[in-house]
C-alpha cells in the first residue's frame, strides 16, 4: 500500500487474506514435522492419519507437538484479537493488554500462587506434587488478569470512562503490578525463581492437553464474544457523541469490549505466560494488509496472530535445539523491529 | 415528530451554562441557532440530541422525555452531527456512511439490501457516491463534511441536528452544505436544526431563527422579523444595517464592532 494511492485495493486485501489463511496450515504442519527429536515425514503422517506407530513417535506427536501447536495458534489469535479490541476501544494504536495492566495482573496472580504455595502448609503439598503447580498457575493468572482489568476499569471511571483516562490508569496500574511481581520474586521467590522466570518469559515449553483443556473453555467463550462484539465495537472508534447518536449504548459496549479482551488475554497469559508485542503489532500488520476493510482486518488479526506465535514457537524450538528460546523472547526480538518498521511506513 | 425542551437547566460538571430555557423545534422546518461564542448553542444542541442530561427540566420527543427511551430508539428519530466528528483511520466512505444504518441492525445481522439501498441514496444525495471506495482522509474538508451528513441522513431520522456544520469550510463549500440541507428539508421533510455563525446564511437558509445570548433564548421567529439592527447590536455588539433584498431574503451588512463605532462617534463630536 502506498500512501499516495487513494483508492483502496480490495483485491489486494483478499489476496493477503488468502496468503495468510494458506500459511496457517503450513506453519501448523511444520510445527508437527519439525522438532528436537528427528522424525521422518512419513512417520509423522502415518501417526497423524492412523494414530498408531512407534510408541516414541506417537508420544512426541500426540502428547507434545500437537497440543503445543494448537495452543500456540489459540494463544496467538487471542492475544492479537485482544490487542485489536483495545486499540479500537482506546482509539490508540499503542494500546494492548500489557499497557492496560491485564498481563501484569495475570503475572501477579501466578507469582502469588507459586510463592504462596511455598509458604502455606497446605500449599506445600500442592507444590510438592511437582507438576501440579502448573495447573494452579493458569487459574491464578486468569483471576489476576480479570481483577486487574476490573481495577483499571473502575479507577478510570467505570461506564463514564474516557479512552485517555483508561490508558493512563492502565499504565499506572501495570507499573505497580509489575513492581509487585518483581518485589515478590525478590523477597520470597528464591526457591521458585526458575519456575516463575520461565513462565514470565512467555513460553509454550512442556504444555500438554491438560493446559489446553484449561484454556479451551475460555477460548471458546472469548472467541464467541469477539464475534458478537464486532459490530458495536466498530463504532467505538468514532467520537463519543457520534457513537451515542447512532444508537450505541456506549458504556455497556465499552465494558463488554474490555471484558472480552480481558478474557482472551488472561486465559492466554495463564497457559503461556505474558507473551508481549503480539497484541500490539499484529493488528497493525492486519491493517497494513487490508487498509480500510475492518472486517477483514479483524479476521486477519486472528489468523496472523496464530501464524506468528506458531512460527515463533517453531523457530524458538529449532534455533538452539535441544535448548529452547521462549516464544515470548522471540516475539519481542522480532516484534519490536517490526513495529518500528510499521511506524516508519505510516504517514 | 416534535422535539422540545422545557425549562432545561444545562451545564457541565456543575458549571451552569444555560440557567433555564424552553424551546419548541418547529417540524419540517429549517431552524438556525445563532449567538456569540460561548452563549450555549452547542450545549443546547447536545441537550436536544440527548447527549447532555439537563440538571432540571426535560427534553421531550413526541412528548416522551429523552431519558425514558433507549439510545437505539432515539437514533431512529434523531440524528446529530457534532462540530468535530472524527473518522477511524483509513475507513472507506461507504463503510462510514453505512454506520448510519447501525440502529437498524442487530449484533449478527449485517447490512441487508434495504440498508445498502439507503446508503447508496445517502451518498448520492450528498454527492459523495464517486468517493465510496476511498478512505475518508483522502477527501477535502467539504467532501468530508458531506460524508458525515450522508452518514446522518442514512440514519433516516426525521430530525437532524448539526453543530456548526459550515465552520471549517470555505465559502463555496459552506453554501453547498447549506443547499444540501435545504434540499433534504424540502424533499424529504427533515426538520433541521443547525448552529451557524454567518447571519446572512442563517437568514437565507432558515425558516426559523433562534437567538441565544449568555445561555438564554432571547428571540425566535422568521429571520426577517427577528434579525434587526437592534438585535445585532445587543447580541453581537455589532453595528449593522439589515436590508431586505429583492428576493425577500434579509441581508446584514456590518459597519463595525459596537466599540469601534462608539469611538468614532466620540471623535466626530
SS (H, E, C) A8-37: CCHHHHHHHHHHHHHHHHHHHHHHHHCCCC
B36: its cell numbers:
456569540
What's the predicted TM-score (pTM) here? Answer: 0.88
**Enclosing domain of residue A309:** 10-345
Maximum average pLDDT range among A38-52, A199-213, B101-115, B149-163: B149-163
Say yes or no: B67 contacts chain A, CB-CB below 8 A.
no
Domain contains B260: no
Domain contains B57: yes
- Minimal Cβ distance to B49: which of A91, A245, A249: A245
* CB contacts, 8 Å: A293 with chain B: 92, 95
Boundary of a domain, candidates B156, B181, B198: B156
Which residues, at least 6 apart from A202, have a Cβ–Cβ distance to it below 8 Å? Answer: A272, A273, A274, A275, A276, A326, A327, A328, A329, A331
Q: Would you call A247 and B79 a contact, using CB atoms and an 8 Å cutoff?
A: no
- Minimal Cβ distance to B86: which of A239, A246, A293: A239
**Beta strands, E only, A21-176:** none
Q: In what order do the strands lie in the sheet with B15-25?
A: B15-25, B3-12, B56-61, B64-65
User: To which residue does cell 495475570 refer?
Assistant: A106
Domain contains A243: yes
Domain contains A3: no
pLDDT at A128: 46
Q: In what order do the strands lie in the sheet with B159-162?
A: B78-81, B159-162, B191-195, B30-34, B208-213, B216-221
> Is the model more confident about B197 or about A140?
B197
Nearest chain B residue to A229, by CA: B107
* CB contacts, 8 Å: A6 with chain B: 134-135, 138
Q: Say yes or no: ipTM exceeds 0.95.
A: no
pLDDT at A125: 47
Answer yes or no: is pLDDT of A329 > 90.
Answer: no
Say yes or no: B231 contacts chain A, CB-CB below 8 A.
no
The mean-pLDDT minimum among A49-63, A80-94, A154-168, A222-236 falls in: A49-63
Domain contains B212: yes
B144 and B129 fall within a common domain: yes
Which residues, at least 6 apart from A135, have a Cβ–Cβ distance to it below 8 Å? Answer: A210, A214
Answer yes or no: is pLDDT of A225 > 80.
Answer: yes
Domain contains A26: yes
Say yes or no: B83 contacts chain A, CB-CB below 8 A.
no
Q: Would you call A245 and B85 a contact, using CB atoms and an 8 Å cutoff?
A: no
* CB contacts, 8 Å: A241 with chain B: 46, 49, 51, 80, 82
**How far apart are alpha carbons B95 and B112 in whole angstroms?**
14
**How far apart are alpha carbons B44 and B23 in whole angstroms?**
10
B140 and B197 fall within a common domain: no
The mean-pLDDT minimum among A147-151, A315-319, B262-266 falls in: B262-266
Q: What is the pLDDT of residues A55-73, one digit of tens each?
A: 777 788 888 888 999 999 9
Answer yes or no: is pLDDT of A3 > 50.
Answer: no
Boundary of a domain, candidates B124, B156, B188: B156
- pLDDT level of residue A189 (50, 70, 90 thresholds): low
B2 and B32 fall within a common domain: yes
Closest to A237 (Cα-Cα) out of A77, A343, A85:
A85
B205 and B72 fall within a common domain: yes
B189 and B213 fall within a common domain: yes
Domain contains A254: yes
3-state secondary structure of B79: strand
**How far apart are alpha carbons A266 and A104 in whole angstroms?**
10
Nearest chain A residue to B100, by CA: A246
Report the pLDDT averaged over residues A120-140.
58
* CB contacts, 8 Å: B101 with chain A: none
Say yes or no: A8 contacts chain B, CB-CB below 8 A.
yes
Domain contains B165: yes
Start-to-end CA span in chain B (Å): 56
B3 and B64 fall within a common domain: yes
> Is the model more confident about A292 or about B187?
B187
Handedness of CA B112, B113, B115, B116 (dihedral sign): positive
- pLDDT level of residue A32 (50, 70, 90 thresholds): confident
Domain contains B169: yes
* CB contacts, 8 Å: A294 with chain B: 88, 91, 95
Closest to B135 (Cα-Cα) out of A48, A115, A294:
A294
**How far apart are alpha carbons A250 and A213 in whole angstroms?**
34
B163 and B215 fall within a common domain: yes
B121 and B69 fall within a common domain: no
Contact of A164 with A91, CB cutoff 8 Å: no
B168 and B213 fall within a common domain: yes
Closest to B95 (Cα-Cα) out of A293, A15, A33:
A293
Best probe of the B interface among A11, A93, A157, A247, by most B CBs < 10 A, is A247
The total of structural domains in chain B comes to 2
In angstroms, the separation between the Cα of residue B212 and the nearest Cα of chain A is 23
- pLDDT level of residue A41 (50, 70, 90 thresholds): confident
Domain contains B4: yes
In angstroms, the separation between the Cα of residue B96 and the nearest Cα of chain A is 9
**How far apart are alpha carbons B145 and B107 in whole angstroms?**
28
**Beta strands, E only, B41-86:** 56-61, 64-65, 78-81
> Is the model more confident about A81 or about A42?
A81
In angstroms, the separation between the Cα of residue A52 and the nearest Cα of chain B is 43
Say yes or no: A254 contacts chain B, CB-CB below 8 A.
no
Contact of A44 with A278, CB cutoff 8 Å: no
pLDDT at B264: 60
Domain contains A79: yes
- Minimal Cβ distance to B135: which of A231, A246, A291: A291
**How far apart are alpha carbons A81 and A230 in whole angstroms?**
11
The total of structural domains in chain A comes to 1
Boundary of a domain, candidates B156, B173, B194: B156
Which residues, at least 6 apart from A343, have a Cβ–Cβ distance to it below 8 Å? Answer: none
Say yes or no: A228 contacts chain B, CB-CB below 8 A.
yes
**Enclosing domain of residue B44:** 1-77+157-222
Report the pLDDT averaged over residues A188-207.
75
B68 and B5 fall within a common domain: yes
B27 and B58 fall within a common domain: yes
pLDDT at B113: 87
**How far apart are alpha carbons B212 and B18 in whole angstroms?**
10
Domain contains A339: yes
Answer yes or no: is pLDDT of A7 > 60.
Answer: no
pLDDT per residue as tens, chain B (269 positions): 789 999 999 999 889 999 999 999 999 999 999 999 989 999 999 999 999 999 999 999 998 999 899 999 999 999 999 998 988 888 999 999 999 999 998 777 777 889 999 999 999 988 899 999 999 989 988 899 999 999 999 999 999 999 999 988 888 889 988 999 999 999 989 999 999 999 999 999 999 999 999 999 999 999 989 998 899 999 998 888 888 888 878 888 888 887 776 666 555 55
Best probe of the A interface among B50, B69, B77, B99, by most A CBs < 10 A, is B99
Say yes or no: A320 contacts chain B, CB-CB below 8 A.
no
Which residues, at least 6 apart from B39, have a Cβ–Cβ distance to it below 8 Å? Answer: B212, B213, B214, B215
* CB contacts, 8 Å: B111 with chain A: none
Say yes or no: A129 contacts chain B, CB-CB below 8 A.
no
Nearest chain B residue to A8, by CA: B134
Say yes or no: B53 contacts chain A, CB-CB below 8 A.
no
3-state secondary structure of B243: strand
Amino acid at each position: 500500500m502506498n500512501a499516495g494511492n487513494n483508492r483502496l485495493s480490495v483485491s489486494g486485501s483478499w489476496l493477503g487474506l488468502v496468503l495468510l489463511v494458506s500459511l496457517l496450515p503450513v506453519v501448523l504442519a511444520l510445527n508437527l514435522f519439525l522438532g528436537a527429536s528427528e522424525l521422518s515425514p512419513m512417520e509423522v503422517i502415518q501417526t497423524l492419519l492412523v494414530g498408531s506407530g512407534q510408541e516414541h513417535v506417537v508420544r512426541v506427536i500426540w502428547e507434545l507437538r500437537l497440543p503445543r501447536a494448537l495452543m500456540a495458534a489459540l494463544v496467538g489469535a487471542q492475544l492479537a484479537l485482544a490487542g485489536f479490541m483495545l486499540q479500537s476501544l482506546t482509539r490508540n494504536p499503542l494500546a494492548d493488554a500489557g499497557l492496560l495492566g491485564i498481563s501484569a495482573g495475570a503475572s501477579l496472580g501466578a507469582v502469588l500462587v507459586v510463592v504462596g504455595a511455598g509458604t502455606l502448609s497446605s500449599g506445600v503439598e500442592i507444590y510438592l506434587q511437582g507438576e501440579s503447580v502448573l495447573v494452579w498457575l493458569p487459574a491464578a493468572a486468569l483471576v489476576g488478569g480479570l481483577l486487574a482489568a476490573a481495577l483499571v476499569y473502575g479507577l478510570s471511571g467505570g461506564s463514564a470512562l474516557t479512552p485517555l483516562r483508561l490508558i493512563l490508569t492502565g499504565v499506572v496500574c501495570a507499573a505497580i503490578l509489575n513492581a509487585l511481581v518483581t518485589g515478590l520474586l525478590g523477597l520470597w521467590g528464591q526457591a521458585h525463581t526458575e519456575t516463575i522466570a520461565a513462565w514470565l518469559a512467555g513460553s509454550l515449553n512442556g504444555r500438554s492437553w491438560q493446559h489446553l483443556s484449561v484454556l479451551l473453555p475460555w477460548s471458546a467463550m472469548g472467541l464467541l464474544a469477539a464475534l458478537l462484539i464486532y459490530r458495536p465495537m466498530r463504532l467505538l472508534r468514532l467520537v463519543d457523541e457520534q457513537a451515542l447518536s447512532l444508537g450505541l449504548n456506549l458504556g455497556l459496549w465499552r465494558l463488554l469490549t474490555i471484558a472480552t479482551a480481558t478474557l482472551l488475554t488472561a486465559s492466554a497469559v495463564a497457559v503461556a505466560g505474558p507473551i508481549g508485542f503480539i497484541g500490539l503489532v499484529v493488528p497493525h500488520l492486519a491493517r497494513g494488509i487490508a487498509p480500510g476493510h475492518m472486517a477483514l482486518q479483524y479476521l486477519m488479526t486472528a489468523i496472523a496472530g496464530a501464524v506468528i506465535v506458531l512460527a515463533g514457537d517453531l523457530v524458538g524450538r529449532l534455533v538452539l535445539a535441544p535448548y529452547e528460546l521462549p516464544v515470548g523472547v522471540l516475539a519481542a526480538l522480532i516484534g519490536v523491529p517490526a513495529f518500528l518498521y510499521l511506524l516508519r511506513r505510516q504517514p | 415528530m416534535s422535539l422540545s425542551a422545557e425549562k432545561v437547566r444545562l451545564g457541565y460538571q456543575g458549571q451552569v451554562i444555560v440557567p433555564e430555557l424552553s424551546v419548541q423545534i418547529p417540524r419540517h422546518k429549517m431552524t438556525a441557532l445563532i449567538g456569540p461564542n460561548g452563549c450555549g448553542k452547542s450545549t443546547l444542541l447536545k441537550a436536544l440530541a440527548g447527549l447532555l442530561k439537563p440538571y432540571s427540566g426535560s427534553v421531550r420527543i413526541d412528548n416522551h422525555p429523552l431519558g425514558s427511551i433507549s439510545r437505539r430508539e432515539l437514533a431512529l428519530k434523531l440524528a446529530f452531527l457534532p462540530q468535530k466528528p472524527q473518522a477511524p483511520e483509513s475507513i472507506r466512505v461507504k463503510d462510514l456512511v453505512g454506520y448510519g444504518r447501525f440502529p437498524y441492525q442487530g449484533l449478527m445481522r449485517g447490512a441487508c439490501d434495504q440498508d445498502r439501498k439507503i446508503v447508496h441514496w445517502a451518498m448520492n444525495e450528498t454527492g459523495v457516491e464517486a468517493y465510496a471506495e476511498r478512505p475518508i482522509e483522502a477527501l477535502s474538508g467539504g467532501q468530508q463534511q458531506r460524508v458525515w451528513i450522508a452518514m446522518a441522513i442514512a440514519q433516516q431520522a426525521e430530525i437532524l441536528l448539526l453543530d456548526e456544520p459550515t465552520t471549517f469550510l470555505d465559502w463555496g463549500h459552506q453554501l453547498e452544505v447549506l443547499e444540501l440541507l435545504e434540499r433534504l428539508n424540502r424533499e424529504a421533510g427533515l426538520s433541521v436544526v443547525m448552529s451557524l455563525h454567518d447571519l446572512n446564511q442563517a437568514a437565507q437558509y432558515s425558516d426559523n431563527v433562534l437567538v441565544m445570548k449568555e445561555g438564554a433564548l432571547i428571540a425566535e421567529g422568521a429571520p426577517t422579523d427577528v434579525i434587526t439592527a437592534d438585535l445585532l447590536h445587543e447580541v453581537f455588539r455589532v453595528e449593522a444595517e439589515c436590508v431586505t433584498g429583492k428576493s425577500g431574503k434579509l441581508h446584514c451588512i456590518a459597519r463595525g464592532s459596537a466599540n469601534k463605532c462608539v469611538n468614532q462617534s466620540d471623535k466626530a463630536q
